[in-house]
Amino acid sequence: MHHFVMSFLVQPTISGAEAAQFILRWFHLIAGITWIGLLYFFNLVNVPFMKTVDAAVKPKIFENMTLPALNWFRWSALVTVFVGGWYWGQFLVAPDAQRDGGSEGKTMGLFLLIWIVVFFLLYFVIKKATPNGYVLGAITAVVVYAAGWLFVHYTPVGGDDNHVLCIGIGGGFGIVMLFNVWGIIWPNNKKIIRGTLAGTPPANAAALARQAFLASRTNFFLSVPMLFYMAAASHFASTVIFGK
């Protein structure tokens, strides 16, 4: 009985690093659920719904639903990627760098370079060419596959660590999706919504809406492999390493 009471009273100790990991993961998950939930709402519910709405009703919907939802959407995307990148760099890449004598900075730099280049390639295709959705899907598949291959094979740190490799791919999809939100989806919708509310919709509203739709659909489809790789980092250890 004495031993039972003593063991009950003794609480596990948690280091500062462990507490930081828990907090970062928690905020990353909450923000990510908010972001992806809204992404699915826009693509699966809002897009078909808005096609059935009369033009006279749209300003009310824009003001009271679309605009607030977009604000939650863009800020939750930013928090998700920022906190996730912080966690990945500090608690996954940095320990591998210390173990192997590699460079954490070069690894993070390569990661950002590869995936920002991917975004700008897709940005150019969406904004300048505004292609058929199937064509954009094929281009996206080729570009992100090449980007993932480059990171897996040339990362300075974590080449044998599934956590680093999986998030280097899944987190890369997240970078592209974040930039799509802030670089295309939000600016285009903002112009359409604010112009409509002011009674002067932009002359190129149809083109802006099409570009935002393509970027949103790209994010919708990228979210599936992104979520797979984020989970695979801890639950499917052979995912990337066996594919090298």
Range of the domain at 131: 81-243
C-beta of residue 89 within 8 angstroms of C-beta of residue 108? yes
Q: Specify the residue for token string 């003001």.
A: 63
Q: Residue 164 phi/psi, 5° resolution?
A: -65, -45
Low-confidence ranges of the chain (pLDDT < 70): 1-13, 235-244
Q: Among 173, 154, 187, which residue's Cα sits nearest to residue 227? A: 173
Task: Specify if 23 maps to a domain.
Answer: no
Task: Specify if 17 maps to a domain.
Answer: no
Tokens of 170: 């899944």
Structure confidence at residue 2 (pLDDT): 52
Structure confidence at residue 215 (pLDDT): 98
Q: What is the pLDDT of residues 147-188, one digit of tens each?
A: 999 999 999 999 989 899 999 999 999 999 999 999 999 999
Task: Specify if 232 maps to a domain.
Answer: yes
Q: What is the pLDDT of residues 43-71, one digit of tens each?
A: 999 999 999 999 889 999 999 999 999 99
Task: Specify if 57 maps to a domain.
Answer: no
Number of structural domains found in the chain: 1
C-beta of residue 83 within 8 angstroms of C-beta of residue 31? yes
Task: Specify if 16 maps to a domain.
Answer: no
Q: Residue 155 phi/psi, 5° resolution?
A: -60, 130
Task: Specify if 145 maps to a domain.
Answer: yes
